[in-house]
Structure 1
Amino acid sequence: MSGRILSDELSDEIVTTARTATGDSLRSVTYFTRSDFEQLYLREDLERDADLNEFVGHEWRGYKDTNNAYQESELGDYEFTIRAFENGYLLRVATDRAGVLLTTDGMTIQTYDDVAEALERLLAEESDDEE
């Protein structure tokens, strides 16, 4: 992982959006692209020993595989992924250029939907700004 891969402004917006939607349930926030990532937030009571390189690589491939697999689905367009683990949950929101991973304690599906929608807007705005 190299240094900063996104602006301080966008980093702050992503973390603020996640914190506002999830409150104290938020565990971590990681921004990623196909080739790099940056952990933007880690709750104070958590250890900083996660192997994010492999974790983010898996989630990027997972996004691409899922997006491709369900393109013709009657369910509609793919929006986000929630994964359940023994000690928490992961929300993945991504576009073709970048994504955000949140880890959380348990929340309602509506809360995940709300935060995913807000993060999708931020990622779309970032993509528009790059063009």
Structure 2
Amino acid sequence: MATGLITDETADRIVTTCRTAVGDSLRSVTYFTRDDYEQLYLRTDLERDADLTSFIGHEWRGFKTTQTAYEGSELGDYNYTIRVFDNGFLIRVTTDREGVFATTDGLTMKDFEEVATSLQSFLGERVE
């Protein structure tokens, strides 16, 4: 599904990172920046009808708002966001330049922590 925002190798690595952490529970993976996005993976049993432009706008603003709102609090630095829906979950991992959100079926907190830690590590080492 790559369209040129990131290399095919980077896209494959992000999807592999998510699939390794959550297996068949993975529904979709989307890489995004403030200005653009690329859906990297969509499970075959799902419809390609989500309004990703709205999702990306919300997730980017949500990251910036959350990061600013809790800056300097006793909770420590912001790490990632989990959103819970009737039909699944969304986990968002973001840096100041880029982010990834993955949607999943039901997972445990340990599963979320594993995918978040893996994505944070990957995004932290990128210089692309």
Normalising by the smaller structure, the TM-score range is over 0.9
User: Could you say what secondary structure the match of 1:103 adopts?
Assistant: strand
Map of 1:51-130 to 2, 5 A cutoff? Answer: 51-126=51-126, 129-130=127-128
In structure 1, C-alpha distance between the alignment counterparts of 2:87 and 2:111, rounded to whole Å: 18
Partner of 1:30: 30
In structure 1, C-alpha distance between the alignment counterparts of 2:76 and 2:124, rounded to whole Å: 19
In structure 1, C-alpha distance between the alignment counterparts of 2:71 and 2:114, rounded to whole Å: 23
Partner of 1:45: 45
Letter in 1 for 2:10: L
User: Could you say what secondary structure the match of 2:41 adopts?
Assistant: strand
In structure 1, C-alpha distance between the alignment counterparts of 2:21 and 2:3, rounded to whole Å: 27
Moved more, 4-13 or 28-37: 4-13
Gaps in structure 1 of 5+ consecutive residues: none
In structure 1, C-alpha distance between the alignment counterparts of 2:37 and 2:87, rounded to whole Å: 23
In structure 2, C-alpha distance between the alignment counterparts of 1:85 and 1:102, rounded to whole Å: 13
Q: CA-to-partner distance for each residue in 1:69-121, whole Å, 9 max, x for gaps?
A: 11111111100000000110000000000000000001011110111010011
Provide the aligned length of Structure 1 versus Structure 2. 127
Q: CA-to-partner distance for each residue in 1:6-38, whole Å, 9 max, x for gaps?
A: 111111110001001000100000000000000
Letter in 1 for 2:31: Y
Task: State the shift of 1:39 in Å.
Answer: 0.1
User: Could you say what secondary structure the match of 2:40 adopts?
Assistant: strand
TM-score for both structures, normalised by structure 2: 0.96
In structure 2, C-alpha distance between the alignment counterparts of 1:110 and 1:69, rounded to whole Å: 26
Q: RMSD of aligned C-alpha atoms?
A: 1.1
TM-score for both structures, normalised by structure 1: 0.94
Letter in 2 for 1:103: T
